[in-house]
Every structure is written in structure tokens, then in C-alpha cells.
A and B are shown apart, each in its own frame.
Chain A
């Protein structure tokens, strides 16, 4: 991921509608994101594009995703 793409992703993670996501996504970007491979990073970009309530429901375990690309990333974001 080039620098501009990463910086754009960062802005879209640190300025969410919900405080829960500001914190959870910023934390993941700072600790975990760079260990993902390119395909996993792309899956994270797609997750970050979701509506805030839907994404928080996934991360907080209130809903589940069957998508094999997303499930492991959601689990990583939710890992404390």
C-alpha cells in the first residue's frame, strides 16, 4: 500500500461517526495492520468502508460475518 493510500485509510479510521470505532480502528492501525499481507490489508480497507453501526456490531460480536476474508480481520481488530 503506498503512502497516500495508507494516509487516506488512516484518516478514514481516525475520524469515524462512533467513538468506539475511532479507538478500535486507530489501535489496530498502530498495532497489527502492518503485519497483514496485501489481500488482508485490502479486506481491512473494505471493512473500514462499512457503516459505523454495522462495523461496530461485527467487532463487538453482536453480529457475525460469514465472509472468510473479513472474519479473521474482524477477530484481529477485536483482539485486545
Chain B
């Protein structure tokens, strides 16, 4: 059977913030650009981002990109590359103003400037006091951003392929990337998208964990495709967790609940945060609270049948206060925990929120991978931006409002780099003979396999292993066991079976294909986490505690380096962190404390 081939200058996979921003660059430069998305663009997970986008505009008070840079390096626990971080914070103002010109309805000050509000970790004068740096559109910043950028793309004639699923990356024998194979969900038809530039903007993979605030769509498709094409994944041990997701569902309970007086309790009804943080108690920082919750659960003081969650209690608050100050919280409890929080406490667990690692990229958006001794050799024709990419600006932990900035800056720079690389007018490289074999074989295997593994059960096994063995607070022995367990799950994930063999809108097939991507990310996470024998940022190990020699458990002598996990043979190499910024003095190593 002949597979149809569609030719484009550029193919972008993913229509969230990073994908749409890249597409604007490419289409406005006159390049024939396709964007593939599993869902309508404005239904991408960027919609869920509420906090805002960071930029040192200084509209509300004095601010400087150098202060923003300092905060970001410190937030990253010095694992972020300082050249990429300088690049990002210096591009921030330009990117925010461009967005304003695209029609983004930012909140305004009385004199008409973009209003800015404070956000955790963003400080003035190198960590002195909080600064107002976040630009927002009420609590719908991500949503407004996507709408503004989608409209701009429509104007620029970007061609959207909505409800299409990319299956595999196409690489030739020299390693050049030539596009993707993809499936139209309405027909089940496989099509080759042959391109001169291929940009991945597929978002994160938070669904590898049992408790995740991520929507179901975040299945790490770009990471899975990259891994199958032999591209390593960088710093996958670093995942940001939020302390309070509804147990079993993952839906986020805002920090405001504890701000209004909510108290965390264990199975003895004890207010356990008094033991871990005698002063701040329930208002201690996210990582302290998450670690305390995990310790309570691990030591058998969790609640419920499986003793696997703790309780967030607001029953002592005036119901009128709950309804007025915490709108929507009662409904979240009723809907997702079956609990009326006015009468009963809410079951909560630390919940995965954001992926710091990803496909290794240079700050130009070009994907880089080891080749002939060069750890940062450019993979020709391949670019990545947003949560699926690792530039690395977030390092070991991300600051709030830097994620929307990341997707704007690196979406744009990936687009610009592709334009630059295509300037020479190079023709499309010839497609290899076996161009669609991999994708077709995967589909055929799913359709033909009998007595294989159930998709839902395999996903659940993976999520439980990840949650229990590589959660917010990590233990050497649990990580070791986790490696064996996830490799077992991987075997099942390679033998998935689906009952529904139909072509049109076969959601069982789509979910099986997503599972094959998730397992790549889960494996990379577990093995990278087991290997890193220090605590840094969001990767906190019980066996790498806070000592005078290693404050916070961080060991710069041995571990100030990026993990590159090779999914083909499960091996790891490390590459140095870029400590030299582009134009300023490096920000020297220091203990990270707030």
C-alpha cells in the first residue's frame, strides 16, 4: 500500500503555546508550515496555566533581567545552563510585548501598561525582596495566550491538522530528521509529513505518575518519538510536585486553602507539620510540605484503606469564608473525592505538576545529542521547544511563570533557527526506503497481537511504580526496586493488545500508542533518578541529606552535570552544566535557601 506523502517546509508537532509560537515565526517568514495536534489548538494543556508569564518589564516597580536571571539560576539549583537562562530572560520583554501586539488581553495598570504581580521565587536585587514580574490575563493567562496566537496563525496561513497523532520521527542514515509519520484519527490513515524542518512542541508527560495535575493529553509523545529515534533524554529525574492534589484524581487544591487556615493531618488526626516546620507549619514551602506528607505516609500514618494519603482539613473554617475565599474548592472535593470539605477533610497527596527535563536542545531550539565525542552535536533538521524540551533553563526546579516564558522564547527561537537553517534553500532530503515501517509495524502489532497486555492495566502499573518509587521524596532502596519494576512494566508495554481494530476514531489504539510513549519517559525518569546520588532541586533523596559538607544534600563536586539517558541501551552519560552566561559574569554556586 502506498502511503500518502505531504510536503512542507516545516512540520510542528503540538499546538500548545510553544508550537503556536514557532508556527507564527515560520508562517510569517513565508514558509509552508503544518501544525499537527491531537486536539483543537485551544484545547491544549497550556490553557490550564493560570499564574502568568515572567518578564522584567518594570511596569509596577524597578526590575532588571539580571535579577530575573539570578532567580532562575537559583531556582534551578544551579543545574540550569546560564547561557540559555540569560538568553531567555533577556528575550522576555520582547516576547511579552509581541504577544500584546497579537491581541493578548493582559491585565492593565491605571496608566495602561501591562499590570504585573508578584510570584513565588521572583525577587528584586539578587534575592532581596519579592518583585512584581508576572504578567497575567486574570486567571486565564494560558487560555488567552493560545487564543491570541491561534488567531495570528490563522492570519499567517499556518495549515492545521487537527485530531492527528504523530507516530514516529523520520531520520535518514546520516541522522538528519526529515519529518514524521502521523495518523489521522478520523480515518486511521497513516500519512508521511516530509519536511525540511521538524519542530517538537508536544508538552510534558506528567501522566507517568499516578497522581498528576496534568490533563490526560500529557503523554510525552514527543519524548517517546525522540527516544525511539535514538535521541537521549536529558535530566528526566527532575519533576516538580505540588503538595496538594486530590488523592486518586490529581486535581489541584490551590495553596490558598492552606493560606486560609487549612491544616494537614495524618491518620492520628495529628497536625504533623508542627513537627517538620514548627514556625511555618502548614505554610512551609512546597518541597518541605510534600516531603513531610510522604514521610507520614511511608511511616504508616497515611489515611484510608491503603493508608496512602493525608487529610487537608478546613472543617474548622466558617463555611461562608470557604465559599467566599475559596470558590470552587467545595465542588472539587465533592466531584473528585466525594467529600464535602465543609464537613469532612479532603484526601490529598503530593502530585506531579511539571517536567523539567526533556529532549536536549541548545537555546537556539536546535536539538543536540552526542555524536563522535561531541556531547552537543546538532541533530540536523530537528528542533524542540516548551515542556518537551530541555534547554536547560529550569535545571533541577522551575520557578512559577517561567514555563509560559519558556514556551514563548524557545518557541520563537526554534522557529527562527529553522528559518536560518532553511535559508540556503536546500531541497527536501530523500526519504529512506523504510520510511514508514516503524509506525506501520507498531500499528500492525497492536492490531494483530493476541493475549497481550491490557493498556489500562499496564498504564496503572506504570503510574503506581512511578508514584511509589520515584515520587516527590526518594529513597535509595525504593529507587533500586523501582528500576526492576519499571523494566518489568516496559516488557508489558511492548506487548500491548487492543480489542477494537476499527479505523475511525479508535481511541483504544490512540491510548495504546500514547502508552508506548509514556513508558519511554517513565523508564528514563526512574533510571536517571536512581543514578543521581545527590539531592538537588526537585530530586530529593533520603540518603543524600542536608550536611555541612553537602548543604541540602547537593554535591556539586560530583553531580553538577546533566543526565543524558540513552533509551536504546538504558545507558547514561553526563554532560557539563554551562556555567558561563552570554555576556555577564557567572552566578557563582551557593546554597539554595529562601
| Residues of A near any B CB (own CB < 8 A) | 3-4, 7-8, 10-12, 14-20, 22-24, 51-53, 59-62, 78, 80
Q: Is the CB of A60 within 8 A of B507?
A: no
Show 17 residue pairs from A and B whose CB-CB distance is below 8 angstroms, ordered by the A residue.
A7-B507, A14-B216, A15-B38, A15-B39, A15-B217, A16-B217, A17-B45, A17-B217, A19-B215, A20-B335, A22-B216, A22-B217, A23-B336, A24-B335, A60-B328, A60-B332, A60-B335
Q: Mark B215-237, 1 if CB is under 8 A from A, else 0.
A: 11100000000000000000000
Q: Are B331 and A60 in contact (CB under 8 A)?
A: yes
Question: Is B43 on the interface with A (CB-CB < 8 A)?
Answer: yes
In the complex, whether B317 has a CB less than 8 A from a CB of chain A is no
The 10 closest A-B pairs by CB, nearest first: A7-B505, A17-B47, A60-B331, A22-B216, A4-B504, A19-B215, A15-B217, A17-B43, A8-B505, A15-B39
Interface centre among B38, B46, B336, B502 (most CB of A within 10 A): B336
- 8 Å CB interface, B127-183 against A: 140, 143, 163
Beyond A16-B215, A19-B251, A20-B332, whether A11 also contacts B507 by CB under 8 A is yes
Chain B residues near A10 (CB-CB < 8 A): 505, 507
Query: What is the CA–CA distance of A16 and B332 in the complex, to the nearest angstrom?
Result: 17
Contact A51 B143 (CB under 8 A): yes
Which B residues fall within an 8 A CB radius of A? 38-39, 42-48, 140, 143, 163, 185-186, 212-217, 249-251, 327-328, 331-332, 334-336, 338, 502, 504-507, 510
B507-A62 in contact (CB<8A): no
Residues of A within 8 Å of B510, CB to CB, are 11
| Chain B residues with CB under 8 A of A7 | 502, 504-507
Give the CA-CA distance A61 to B507 in the complex, in Å: 30
Q: Bound complex: CA of A60 vs CA of B334, how far in Å?
A: 10
Q: Which residues of chain B are near A19, meaning CB under 8 Å?
A: 48, 212-216, 249-251
- Nearest-CB distance from A14 to chain B (Å)? 6
Shortest beta-carbon distance from A52 to chain B in Å: 6
A60 to chain B: which residues have CB within 8 Å? 328, 331-332, 335
- Which residues from A are CB-within-8-Å of B215? 15-19, 22
Cα-based distance from A20 to B214 in the complex (angstroms):
10
Asked if residues A62 and B328 are in contact (CB atoms below 8 Å), the reply is yes
Nearest chain A CB to B137 CB, angstrom units: 12
Instruction: State A60–B331 Cα separation when bound (angstroms).
Output: 6
Cβ–Cβ contact A11 & B332, under 8 A: no
A contact residues around B250 at 8 Å (CB): 19
Which residue in chain B gives the minimum CB-CB distance to A56?
B328
B335 and A11: CB pair below 8 A? no
**Chain A contacts for B327, CB-based, 8 A:** 62
Residue of B whose beta carbon sits closest to that of A17: B47
Measured between beta carbons, the chain A residues less than 8 angstroms from B505 are 4, 7-8, 10-11
Contact B163 A11 (CB under 8 A): yes
Alpha-carbon gap, A19 to B46, bound state (A) = 12
Complex interface: chain B residues within 8 A of A11 (CB)? 163, 185, 505, 507, 510
Contact yes or no, B507 A53, CB < 8 A: no
The complex places the Cα of A11 from the Cα of B216 at a distance, in Å, of 11
Q: Which residues of B contact A4 (CB under 8 A)?
A: 504-505
**Given the interface contacts A8-B186, A11-B163, A19-B216, does A80 sit within 8 Å of B507 by beta carbon?**
no
Q: How far is the CA of A12 from the CA of B46 in the complex (A)?
A: 17
B47 to chain A, nearest CB (A): 4
Complex formed: what's the CA distance from A14 to B140 in Å? 21
User: Which residue of chain A has its CB nearest to the CB of B142?
Assistant: A17
Evaluate contact between B47 and A52: CB separation under 8 angstroms. yes
Q: Which residues of chain A are within 8 angstroms of B46 by Cβ–Cβ distance? A: 17
Centre residue among A8, A19, A24 by max chain B CB count within 10 A: A19
CA distance A18 to B146 in the complex (A): 14
Q: How far is the CA of A52 from the CA of B405 in the complex (A)?
A: 22
How near does chain B come to A73, taking the closest CB pair, in angstroms? 16
Q: Which of A18, A20, A24, A61 is the most central at the interface, judged by chain B CB atoms within 10 Å of its CB?
A: A20
**Smallest CB gap from B45: residue in A:** A17
Q: CA separation between A78 and B334, bound complex, in Å?
A: 9
